Structures are given as C-alpha cells and as structure tokens.
A and B are shown apart, each in its own frame.
Chain A
C-alpha cells in the first residue's frame, strides 16, 4: 500500500466530518417551529361609545321634599332625560345580586348623581361637617317612599316593567338610580343602590349588604363611634376595612299637624342597625357585595428560570 492509497481514506473521513459538523447543521438549521409566528399581545377592542342623550330633549322633573339632619326642610329638584330613563327601563336586569353594584355605577347616571350629591351635601372645607354631609345624603334617600317591586304603584307607568324578574318569593326589579328618582319610590335594594351611587359620586367607598330578605349599604369608615350615638355602630369587615351599616329605608315619618305639609320622622343614622326593626338585619351576617368586581388573582408572578449552560 502506498501513500496514494491512504489519501482517499483520510479524505473520506474528513468529508464525513465536514458533513456532520457543518453541512448537516446548516441544512437543518434551527427548527424553530417553522410556520408558527411568535404570539403578540392583542389589546382588547374598545367598547362602542354609547349614544349621548340629547341635552335639549324632554326631561322628567321631580321635586323631593326632605328633612335634613339639622331639622331644616329642603326641596331638591332633579331633572332626568326621559330618553335615559326609558333606556334603563328597556335594559334587562341581572338576576344575580352580586352584580347589582353596577347599577350604582351606571355611566349615564353619574352626572345627575354628582350634581344631586353636591347640592344635598355641598363641599365643605370644615372636616367636622363631613358626617353631616353624609347624613344628609342618607336622610334624603331614606325619605323617598318605600314601595315593593311587585306593586305597580312603584312605577310611573302603573305596570310592572318588561324586565321585572319573577322569582319564587315575588318580583325583583333592581332600579338604576335615576329610575328610583323618576319613580319617586323604591324598595330596599333600590335605596341601597341610589345611596351607593350618591356616595360613590362623592368618592366614598361603599358595598351592598345582602340579607336573606333585605339589602342595605355599608360605607367604609375608620373607627366610627360618635359620642352622641345611643347605639353601638354596627360594621362588617371586608378586605381588612370597616364598613358601617346604613339603612336606606324605614324612615318613619308623620306630618307635624293634620293640616301641615311639614313632616317629621326618625331617620336612622350611620351604623344604626338596631333601629331598622328588620329581623334578618338583627340575626344575620350579610353577604358583602362590592360595587365593582375586580379580579384579584392571588398568584400572578411569573418566575424567571435559569438557562441551561451552553456547551455543557
């Protein structure tokens, strides 16, 4: 055997090595999922803007006569576009009470509620007046006559609304705040929703308090225990905060004299659950319903991992 016979053998081995080390990887390349594109974030499609209600359209005008915490009698006028009212009447209701807080947050109602809340409880630089402002809002709502959902008198049309929900224990129809204002009547959840809307418009944090046969409001406060209260303020804990009970109904009114239009009554102050006289309020712990459903995952941190050492 001569060297000329060895050369092809060595050349063959080199060719095999080159094929294995260079050509094959180059041909195969990085099999990085051919045909698939890396996912990208697609932002949500914005909801279509609602059609604004005409400012010069017909309105419902309502005058509410109510007694403030200082004993003064006030008349407050509220003007609500008829188109807004009828739009709400034509909106199906949520059967699950846990979403009723959204009624208090209706975007179209908010300007009306902000205006109403500022007139009932004008802004004040005196922090001592904060409680009085809150109480006037509470008293205003408490003095709107109570009427049950299955009474046709609870609706200006004189009939039950199209989307009234027929439950096993009666009719349920949670009203938007402006519906209660136009109807001038409502039941416990309507009062709670209206109060929630008014308080929220002023920046207060509230929740709905759901009992088996009743609904009230809870307002977040710190250590509310006024010296003049002849009751122990009732509160409930939610997310580490104190929410004090507020009754929206049960204002026991009577006329001052048979021929007087002036009324006097016994409003229920913040935290006074004992005066409501409702058995479930006395015996049950309510379910707390935040106005806003905010998804709060307990776990959401993505943990970075160590990469494999290349050339290991």
Chain B
C-alpha cells in the first residue's frame, strides 16, 4: 500500500464473506406465560403495598402502645407521689413542738424531691417517644404538664430551704409560686385531654375556653 495514499482502495479482508449474522430466535412467549408474569408482578406489588401498609400501621400502633405504656407508668408514679402528699396534708400539725415542726418540714422537702425526680424521669422518657403525628399534640401537652409539676415541686423544695433558714416570708413566696405552677399543670392536663381526644377521634382541637 502506498503510504501517501489516504484511502486504502482495494482492501480485502480475508474470509469476511464467510461471516454469519447470528440469528435471533424469536421469543417463545405465549399468552399463558405473559399472564403469569403479569400476575406475579401484580402480586408482588400488592404484597409490597399491603405489607408496607401493614408495617406502617403496625409501627404506628406500636408507637401509640409504647406512648400509652409510658403515660401509664408516669401516672402510676404520680399516683404514689399524690399518696405521699395526701398523707402529709392530712396529718395535723397541731401540738407539734419545734423539733416536730422541723421534722414535718423535712418530710415536705422529701416529698418535693420525690415529685421532682419522678416528673423529671418520666419527662425524659416520654419526650424520647416517637409518636404518630396525630399524637404529637398530646405528647407535647403531657410533657408540659410534667414540666409545670416539676417546677411546682422545685418551688416546694425552695420553700423548705427557706424554712431551714427561718425565712418564712421567702418560704411563703415560694409556696405561692408553686401554686401558680400547679395551676399551669392543671391547664396542661386539660389540654392533653383535648389533644388526645382529637387524635383518637380525628377531630379538630376545640379552642381553649
């Protein structure tokens, strides 16, 4: 071949005429097989859809059940706290001498500490719960209730500390603050009930009175 020639005229490839183009076999799909494949595909999609729905529903139920269990545990502990408070409040202070008054205030401080610990503990658990969106309002309201109760018990503790320092005016101020926090707790509990009803009935939360 002339190296100066740009086009290789007369090029011959040996045996090219012998090449065979592979012959594609025609797919042997009959109607029965096609229907089977389509059916399987539909079945798989249906299984995935139904399974997904079931899983989602199950997980939401699990979340609600867990949330319910945590609220229940919190209420059980708060019931114990309430029992302590009731016994304390029903115990008359008449006739106590100075040491008896101090003992009584130590009991008050211990109840306040217990209430603070219980509310902080359950607040942490319930705040870490993952709940369906419908229940998030109830969850927030319950956490707020625990927070306000925790504040109320903190004020009780401060009142007991003020008593130890014989600053009765400060003790009374703290008790008044505790009453305020307690009222906020009561309001938060009412809001929780409203939110829970709305979550379960799918209704709008009625506006606060």
Distance to closest chain A CB from B117 (angstroms): 4
Q: Is the CB of B168 within 8 A of A296?
A: no
| Nearest CB of chain B from residue A205's CB, rounded to whole Å | 8
Instruction: Tell me how far the C-beta of B62 lies from the nearest C-beta in chain A, rounded to whole angstroms.
Output: 6
Cα of A41 to Cα of B112 in the assembled complex, Å: 10
In this complex, how many residues of chain B approach chain A with their Cβ under 8 Å: the count is: 90
Asked if residues B121 and A13 are in contact (CB atoms below 8 Å), the reply is no
Given contacts A39-B114, A39-B121, A308-B71, contact A106 B97 (CB under 8 A): yes
From A9, A21, A292, A299, give the contact of B182 (CB < 8 A).
A299
Q: From known contacts A1-B37, A25-B62, A30-B69, infer whether A41 and B80 are also in contact, taking CB-CB under 8 Å.
A: yes
Determine the residue in chain A with the shortest Cβ distance to B180: A299
Q: At the interface, yes or no: B205 with Cβ under 8 Å from chain A?
A: no
Contact yes or no, A30 B175, CB < 8 A: no
Tell me the nearest residue of chain B to A12, going by C-beta.
B44
> Is there contact, CB below 8 Å, between B96 and A292?
yes
Q: How far is the CA of A297 from the CA of B37 in the complex (A)?
A: 75
The smallest C-beta distance from B71 to any residue of chain A, in angstroms, reads 6
- 7 new A-B pairs (CB below 8 Å) besides A16-B51, A295-B108? A30-B66, A106-B97, A295-B160, A299-B178, A299-B179, A307-B72, A310-B68
Taking a contact as CB atoms under 8 Å apart, the answer to whether A13 and B169 are in contact is: no
The answer to whether A306 touches B135 (Cβ under 8 A) is no
Contact A21 B98 (CB under 8 A): no
Nearest Cβ on chain B to A224's Cβ, whole angstroms? 20
Inter-subunit contact A42/B64 (CB<8 Å): no
9-residue interface stretch from B1-9, B13-21, B193-201: B193-201
* Complex Cα–Cα for A42 and B118 (A): 12
In the assembled complex, the Cα of A240 lies from the Cα of B166 at a distance in Å of 25
What's the A-B contact tally at a CB cutoff of 8 Å?
Answer: 182
Query: How many Å lie between the Cα of A297 and that of B181 in the bound state?
Result: 11
The reply to whether A308 and B67 contact each other, CB–CB distance below 8 Å, is yes
Minimum Cβ distance to chain B for residue A94 (Å): 5
CB–CB B64/A304 < 8 A: no
Whether A302 and B101, one on each chain, are in contact in the complex, defined by CB atoms closer than 8 angstroms, is no
When C-beta atoms are compared, the residue in chain A nearest to B124 turns out to be A33
CA distance A301 to B167 in the complex (A): 26
Contacts A13-B47, A295-B175, A302-B81 given; does A308 touch B200 at CB 8 Å? yes
Binding site for B on A (CB under 8 A): 1, 6, 9-10, 13, 16-17, 20-21, 25, 30-33, 36, 38-47, 50, 94, 96, 98-99, 102, 105-107, 110, 203, 205, 292-312
Contact A296-B175, Cβ < 8 Å, known A43-B110, A302-B85: yes
- Which chain B residues in 82-130 approach chain A with CB under 8 Å? 82, 84-85, 89, 93-111, 113-114, 117-118, 121, 124-125, 128
In the complex, what distance in Å separates the CA atom of A298 from the CA atom of B67? 31
- Nearest CB of chain B from residue A2's CB, rounded to whole Å: 9
Q: Check B58 against A295 for contact (C-beta < 8 Å).
A: no
B64 touches A13 (CB 8 A): no
Task: Report whether B93 and A294 are in contact in the complex, using a CB–CB cutoff of 8 Å.
Answer: yes
A302 touches B125 (CB 8 A): no
Whether the Cβ atoms of B99 and A306 lie closer than 8 Å is: no
Nearest CB of B to A233, in Å:
24
Q: Which of B55, B95, B193 is in CB contact (< 8 Å) with A21?
A: B55
Q: Please tell me if the beta carbons of A305 and B192 are within 8 angstroms of each other in the complex.
A: yes
Question: B residues within 8 A CB of A6?
Answer: 40
Asked if A98 contacts B169 (CB within 8 A), the reply is: yes
A40 CB to nearest chain B CB (Å): 8
